[in-house]
Structure 1
Amino acid sequence: MLVSSGVYREAVTVRRPGVVLRGADRGGTVVDGEFRRANGITVTGAGSVVENLTVRNHLANGVLFTGVTDERLQGAGAGGGQGYDPLDTVRFPPLKGFRASYVTAYNNALYGIYAFDARGGLIEHSYASGHSDSGIYVGQCDPCDTVVRDNVLEHNAIGIEVTNASRNLYFLANTARRNRVGVTVNSDSLEALGPQHGAVLAGNTITDNNDDHSPEQADGGFGIAIGIGGGTRNRIERNRIENHRVAALVLQDVQGYPVQDNTIRDNTIKNSTALVLSAARTGGNCLTGNTPTPTSPHPLPPATTSCPGHDIPLPAPGTTTPVKTPPGLSFKHITPPPPQQQMPHPQTTPARPATDLPGPVDPSHYRLPAPTTH
């Protein structure tokens, strides 16, 4: 379905399988919520695609891919988390097959591109800014069988957010810059499918996440590149992490979930306090080959400096130099982004439903990104 340029002041729902919803012009085909409607585009049809268009000004989400078919649950949380009931995984089996390509999402109240209770997906070449929660969110899937690659996230409370999303989940060659927090990987006891485990973050550029002209996030995080809250068995490899006021990495136990068995290797860290480890034990977390060698408020125990790590008690958690969290702006007032790259040949490229995704994935092909320029 090729949609002509224009501003469409309506909500769109894709229920049929295999639909390819494509804008004729990425910046000119716009779904506008007018700060009145919850979601811009809601996709519950298996194997469907949203590409080459813009979604803006919604009270919840820009684009939502979900197996939750009850419209009453498709607003703020799509059926899980704080303030709503946990996902019923029997009633709502995951959406199978989805793709977002060349999508611009901005100034939506919660999430720009939101994959919840969905698997077999790809989010690529997209841009998200001005969200009070996160630009891209992947939640409640196990296995996820999903790749998030080559996206740009800026001026959000959080660039990329991962909650109770596990296995065969890859975040590759993304740029998370000038958010309040770059990336979070979390377990949540209020949602289904915890604890989170087995995601890979490789070849990403995560810089300058100290933006005080972004929406304020409810938990108050600021100045952090990557936070792992109760996440397990994740791999953080070959990422460039620069210019954070609080920390490059924060690992902490949350809601009864220990942060454990995470491997952090071969990352380059610049102008950032390297590590805050707030847990009762090391939990087998290990950090090796990073430049410079990570430090924390206390010297790291030897068990954390080679992989695999070992589970030993830690000294009392240290503290970082306090950083005053600046007040944020309303998501409605974030400056709209400049034009983004068009999908090649949108008028003539054959439609390609989201089947057999994400295809073969080899994170080792994603090397350390080049230094950023300012």
Structure 2
Amino acid sequence: MVTEETSLSKFGPPDIVVHEGSSIQAAINNAQNGAVIFIEPGTYKEAIVISKPGIKLVGRSESEVIIEDPGGENNGIRVTDEGDDFTLSNVTIRGFERNGVILIRVTNYLISHVTTIHNGEYGIFPIRSQNGVIEHCVAIGHSDTGIYIGQSDGAEVRFNKVYENVNGIEVENCSDIIVTKNQCYNNTAGILAVLLPGLTVKELKNIQIVHNHVYDNNLPNFADEEGGFEALVPSGSGILFVGGDNSTIEDNNVKGNNFVGIAVVSTLVLGQLGNIPPEAFADIEPLANQVKVTSNVVMKNGEAPPTGLPLPGEDLLWDGLGVDNCWLKNNYNTGFPQTLPTCN
């Protein structure tokens, strides 16, 4: 039998214990590099910044350790580029203005059993970071993305549950990312992998989207219309692969998404949706190339697509652009074009 204490034992004995009514930030300020900090159940109304390496911040109970916006704070937990080898586990973060957890240029991180609720734009948000794991997390109610990996390389997003977000999981301008065994439902789009212009990192490659359950992502898009490309994501999207290369979409169960089950398209499609001229994409190669879509169950999608889209509602969708894209052993009813290129 796994008890609470045995589940915590993997982090080692605590160097500091934070009790309800005291400050998590004060504990971090007093901690040595590499400290293990346990947090007792309670509601902690504070924003937290971590700029020391090796900190392990561990709640004793995910549902009972709550970090809440004290009022007007942008970020629940912000980890800076001095916070490598960071661990966050067993906490709930809610109500912050922009981000639940943001990691900036952090190497080697673990975000495990963390729930983020209604934190403005993003639930969990590593950017320009490397070698991370996000697992067994829940992200609910974010106007951009529940779990977002941006301009990063080497991460695994696994065993998470995301719902009531614009994008459930998003991988943007990244390399070597695995998105696996997640549940994505009641978002505007379940999973989005996208290459966007105007960023420092200019490529999206080696993305594996495998073994996910992506269903009923028909939430109206509630992103800020004056914001970024997230406002252009069509409601009813299962898995959208937009403009990347050398990637695999395999063995996913994708059902009940009103616009599309799995789409492989150029970033230029976003331009069509937002009346953005092609020259706005001149700093990237916008076509999707060498994408393999294999062994997916993709059923009952595309039955009620939004009006005014440049592409039809389908189980499987390709815009016909890019090279060496292929489809094999998928279980589906409708596809566009009707004959999709077969993998060798």
State the TM-score, normalized to the length of structure 2: 0.76
Deviation at 1:293, TM superposition (A): 6.1
User: Which amino acid counterpart does residue 206 of structure 2 have in structure 1?
Assistant: G
Which structure has more strand as a fraction of its residues? 2
Q: Residues 190-269 of structure 1: matches in 2 within 5 Å?
A: 190-212=198-220, 217-254=230-267, 255=281, 256-269=285-298
1:270 is aligned to 2:299: yes
Aligned residue in 2 for 1:32 = 68
The SS at the match of 2:331 is coil
| Count of aligned residue pairs for this structure pair | 273
Distance (whole Å) between structure 1 residues aligned to residue 334 and residue 342 of structure 2: 9
Tell me, yes or no, if the aligned pair for 2:299 and 2:333 is still in contact at 8 Å. Answer: no
Question: Which amino acid in structure 2 is aligned with residue 12 of structure 1?
Answer: I
Task: Identify the residue that residue 14 of structure 2 maps to in structure 1.
Answer: none
Cα distance in 2 between the residues matched to 1:229 and 1:35:
37
The 3-state SS of whatever aligns with 1:18 is coil
Say what the alpha-carbon RMSD is for the aligned residues: 1.7
Deviation at 1:52, TM superposition (A): 0.2
Counterpart position of 2:114: 103
Letter in 2 for 1:211: L
CA distance in 2, matches of 1:152, 1:277: 27
Higher helix share: 2
Aligned pairs (5 A) from 1:1-374 = 1-34=37-70, 36-44=72-80, 45-67=83-105, 95-141=106-152, 144-167=153-176, 169-212=177-220, 217-254=230-267, 255=281, 256-272=285-301, 273-279=314-320, 281-292=321-332, 295-296=335-336, 298-301=337-340, 304-307=341-344
Deviations 1:243-283 (A, max 9, x none): 0111112222123511111000000011112123225x342
Stretches of structure 1 lacking an aligned partner (at least 5 in a row): 68-94, 308-374
Deviations 1:9-68 (A, max 9, x none): 21101111110001122122111125611110011211011110011111111011221x
Retained in 2: the 8 A contact 1:173–1:205? yes
Cα distance between partner residues in 1 of 2:71 and 2:253 = 36
List gaps (5 residues or longer) in structure 2: 1-36, 225-229, 268-280, 302-313
Deviation at 1:215, TM superposition (A): 5.9
Task: Name the CA distance, whole Å, in 2 between partners of 1:213 and 1:29.
Answer: 31
Residues 56-105 of structure 1, C-alpha deviations (whole Å, 9 max, x = no match)? 111111011221xxxxxxxxxxxxxxxxxxxxxxxxxxx21101000000
- Secondary structure at the counterpart of residue 262 of structure 1: strand
Cα distance in structure 2, aligned partners of 1:19 and 1:238: 36
Asked if the contact 2:165/2:187 (under 8 Å) is kept, the reply is yes
TM-score (norm. length: structure 1): 0.70
Contact 1:155 / 1:215 at 8 angstroms: preserved in 2?
Answer: no
Per-residue deviation, 1:211: 2.2
**Contact 1:179–1:214 under 8 Å retained in 2:** no
Contact 1:135 1:156 in 2 (8 A): yes
Cα deviation 1:210-242 (Å, max 9, x = unaligned):
124966752242101011111111100100000
Verify the 8 A CA contact 1:287 1:294 in the aligned structure 2. no
